[in-house]
Structure 1
């Protein structure tokens, strides 16, 4: 059975959650999940680090009807949003889940979006149910303006947040940075005013009760298993983690190879040493200028993905006043000498 929602409200559901969708290497999170239960239509999105859920209370005729949940792939979201914008805001859109597509039907046009009905999605109700059960002393529950929160993006860093007390400023800490954001007071508009956390949580009790208890976003969200191994990350912290992993991995692999496979031993030593050097340089750069570090990591990722780093290195060497052609010739001569020595040793044997 289809559910109905006016075009304006459907657009709001998309707009409130689209900024939280995951990358295309994690298929279950790369899109917005439309989830219908007995009372609401939900739009759900997550990138593993944030989880956003917006809901719309169904019309009376749609309640207790056909429940469905389908993920709208990220690649189709721009088309869907454009189609929604072409409808008059008050126009009701009928949404139905067919075999392998979602059907959005307006008064004049329809839009079909291919979906995978077997696509598994994290138990978002269970995850939020667990989070809402966390407790802090005094249960402070300030309301923060979303428009103000976006201002912290200019810090260019991960931020720590400390909720101090109800109706008091929230503390924000970053690298050589401290700030505070005052809560706002509701002016009597909408169902949630200056209420307690328990009062607001009860508004979601029916929804979240269907979720599994004890879930954790740190362990119960899909991983980026489909990301190609050669795909370079543009994130500073992931880059640092990858470099440290390479140091330790190569350190383990080099053991026992110094006598059995000298070339492999040298390769692991070189990888370990250079990865450690890169990590230390990146750590120092990030401490001195986090924004510059983020910019450099993003640029390097683009260069690595292009597959032209040899050409980049050649140009960089020339720009620095070196002679890369001389390096090339010397190395070619070194390789020829090694081959000659190996051939002479084989003949003597």
Structure 2
């Protein structure tokens, strides 16, 4: 009953749910539940106060669906194992009897499990949280901030829905669904904060001196990042590359000044598009590695030493950057001996070609 997924995806399933495991004194919840159906591989964990379910669409399931609970100790080992694999590397997860085996190209890990171990109906619990309706009135739930921290790895952005004082709070993100039970504290209403009206009354003296506003006019708007600073944000980097592609393509088609300008715009457009496609593929295979590379590249660009970095990278890759440099100088020298009106154009075109090649 093997299922195939990338090492990054399996690692993220563990990362997003490991904080929600219960302690050793609740054996049935002291671990992470792995379940596979015809479309998804799920990881589910709960400590009775929180529920976290993450999923990734797998690359194929052979045989019947399976469900096994990985013991907490093995979960830590699996987390370390996946982090040691290339993020894009295919990983096969097989559950047979009392053993779950994860296999990569050059490594595998076997985990002993109890195939008869019960697990709660997490689908029914989360369905109940989604389907609960808002209760009339202005009561709102009391949440334990320490339990909120357990959803820190759910994703950079999540949606939250609270329906009533004693109802679980729904937490939803991309391929992630969670629930957080409210705290039932005896005498909580005695602090005067049991309802929205009570909270408003408690703060009325402080807040009544100001008018209702979304943002005071005297607070400066967010400043744009200086043009000379390179973003370390992956999404912003991808957007910059697409913007550069579109602008350079437009400028190339609209250029009527010279062949040099057309060649420069065309080279910038092609280079930006290639960079975007490579970044998008890397993000699909291993988002964590993509974010790391974007941040490291931003620091390299800010250092102003990319020529030295490129020279060293070319040398380590087995190329001869000195020969490239000499070839470019020879082309420029030949351009100077060309017919009048041709040197600048030929030099620019050859420079563009040399740049696109390297």
What is the TM-score with the length of structure 2 in the denominator?
A: 0.49
What is the TM-score with the length of structure 1 in the denominator?
A: 0.50
